Chains A and B, each alone.
Chain A
Amino acid sequence: MSKRPTYEPHESPSLTPEVRVDLPREASEQERLQLDRPAFRDWLELRVGWYGFVRKNLDEPMPPGVGWWQTLGNLLLTLLMFQFVTGIALAMFYSASPETAHASVKHITFNVTLGSFVRGLHVWGSTLIVVVMVMHTLRVFFWGSYKKPRELTWVVGVLIFQVILGFSFTGYLLPWDQKAYWATVVGTRIAATVPFVGDSLLLLVRGGPEVGALTLTRFYAAHVMLLPAALMGLVAIHLYLVRRHHIAGPVLPQRGRPVPFYPNQLFKDAVVLLVGVGMLIYMAIGFPPALEGIADPTGTDFSPRPEWYFLGLYELLKIMPAGYEMLATVVIPGLISIGMLFLPWLDRSDSRHPARRQWIITSGMAVILLIGLMTLKGILETPPPHEVPGETPEVVAAK
């Protein structure tokens, strides 16, 4: 009987993809192949390699200086899993047709046991995801972590960013209330401002000339099938690349040797998850999700405003002079997206230090300031209340 192999963490893990930490174990696996009655753990290890995989991830080398800022990716992943699980639960009660969508969401919110809570987790989760995603992106931007060899990790991250905004846009329509309906009327009309193909694009997005039954089924299919499939693929690639190249570490390399992910960094991750998910639960309970009156193309009892994180775009549309709306709908968002996608190649400097990447940091700050100010303007400028006699919003209050 051979000696049970043990991993020795002081044998510092290398920063190359070929992590050496499994070396002592491989030899002993050959020996254990010969055993007639292996332990279940060894039996499984031989067939699945699970323990090796887990141990490899727990021993992921963390460069010195990695800390709280590097916990955001894990929080984002956890919040996405919450969306995934609550989304499956909501789909069990939701019905995607103009006749039934509003009633089914009303039923979920007010009749189903824990319905308001589960829907609250999903609604507030979407907001929290956008906040954490922006923080995660800004951290990578300011730390210059997208530089060689991590360019594609960044590109895939930007694609994930866009898929998540797609989730928000398609999910917003599903309750089929006034807010949902009008935000989608306006949001899809943006497609019509694209030169040459705008009108065809509008029909494609709406599934017809007007926002109706086919818009709802289209958005539902995208929200629960197309986008989740895309997101899972992209997240898998993102995680694979993060593991392949390891975490970039601070802008200026710090003294000391890398330490394994477990326990120090995993502990920090767990604390952040506790705070993040705690906040989500608090919001789901403290601020139950609202539902306005059913979508009504003739109604004026609504404030046609998008979700808060699209308010920047909404305000930009307000200030564009007549005939230039394409600037706000296509050109500016398009340039920002392309700029983000190609950032690793726009930023040619060798250094990751912000002071040595002045033009890219300045441009980035300008874009962040523009989006931030526009969003703030949108949040502050709540529209005047609608004072049409006899028409009051049928906002269903949580009882």
Chain B
Amino acid sequence: MSEHQPLLDPIDPQRRKVMGVIVGVINLGLIGAIVGPVVGFAASPMKSKMKETWVELMDEHLIAPGEIKEVNFSMRVVDGYHEVERKYTVFLRRSEEGVLCLDPACTHLGCRVEYQSDRRRFICPCHGGVFDEEGRVKSGPPPKPMDRHPVKIEGGKIWISREV
């Protein structure tokens, strides 16, 4: 091979360009073929919706006026690939207006609040949120009052509706 002869056969620049574009398009197609379905598949839970379900909690007479009761219960929920019995907690408070049902998840970042009867306050152990007995923010970082669940009383039983 002489020194001046190029190492590779020259290819028509136009042909090079056209084929380069075709290779680029094919590559884009390949990327789309893998990324599209995988993203659609992995992100599918973003479409999941919760639905309201009524659940019976306890006898109405078991909670006295002014009292706050922590009630544990379980509901059958669909958890991904299977149906499970999932445990939940709510706080019930009886007042003159009726029965109030408060969700124990702190509205700040979702830790479970505890009721301290001596202070008559709900306290979040994570970032120090404090709520009063009606679930209103008294201090700390929570941006809004505690969530309430709809309550109905039927046949002497307290029912609440929860999104699951």
Give the interface of A toward B (CB within 8 A). 98, 182, 185-186, 189-190, 193, 200, 203-204, 206-210, 212-214, 217, 296-300, 303-305, 314, 317-318, 320-325, 383, 386, 388
Contact = CB atoms under 8 A, between A and B. Distances in A.
A44 to B, nearest CB: 28
A300 to B, nearest CB: 6
Contacts of A214: 45, 79-81
Interface string B71-89: 0100000011110101111
A300 B143 CA distance: 23
Contacts of A203: 45-46, 48
A262 to B, nearest CB: 37
B109 A190 contact: yes
Contacts of A212: 79-80, 84, 86
A213 B109 contact: no
B128 A206 contact: no
Closest 7 CB pairs of A and B: A214-B80, A213-B80, A212-B79, A189-B110, A318-B127, A189-B109, A298-B89
Interface string B17-33: 00000000000000000
Contacts of A322: 137, 140-143
Nearest to B48: A208
Contacts of A200: 46
B112 A182 contact: yes
Interface in B35-72: 43, 45-46, 48, 50, 72
15 contacts: A203-B45, A208-B45, A210-B86, A213-B80, A214-B81, A297-B86, A297-B88, A298-B89, A305-B126, A317-B127, A318-B127, A322-B142, A323-B143, A324-B141, A325-B108
Contacts of B140: 322
Contacts of B98: none
Contacts, number: 94
Contact of B88 (A209, A298, A303, A324): A298
B141 A325 contact: yes
A317 B82 contact: no
Interface of B: 43, 45-46, 48, 50, 72, 79-82, 84, 86-89, 108-112, 114, 125-128, 137, 140-143, 163
Given A185-B110, A298-B72, A317-B141, A98 B84 contact: yes
A297 B87 CA distance: 6
A297 B54 CA distance: 19
B47 to A, nearest CB: 8
Interface hub of B81, B86, B127 (most chain A Cβ within 10 A): B127
Contacts of B79: 98, 208, 210, 212-214
Given A214-B80, A297-B87, A185 B45 contact: no
B27 to A, nearest CB: 18
B141 A300 contact: no
A77 to B, nearest CB: 30
A203 B42 CA distance: 11
Contact of A182 (B108, B111, B114): B111
Contacts of B88: 297-298
Contacts of B112: 182, 297-300, 304
B59 to A, nearest CB: 20
A208 B80 contact: yes
Given A209-B163, A303-B125, 4 more contacts: A204-B45, A296-B87, A300-B114, A388-B114
Contact of B45 (A206, A299, A314): A206
B17 to A, nearest CB: 30
A186 B112 CA distance: 10
Contacts of B128: 318
B30 to A, nearest CB: 18
A363 B141 CA distance: 27
A143 to B, nearest CB: 37
B44 to A, nearest CB: 9
Contact of A186 (B48, B81, B89, B126): B126
Given A322-B142, A322-B143, A383-B125, A304 B48 contact: no
Contacts of B111: 182, 185-186, 304
B48 A209 contact: yes
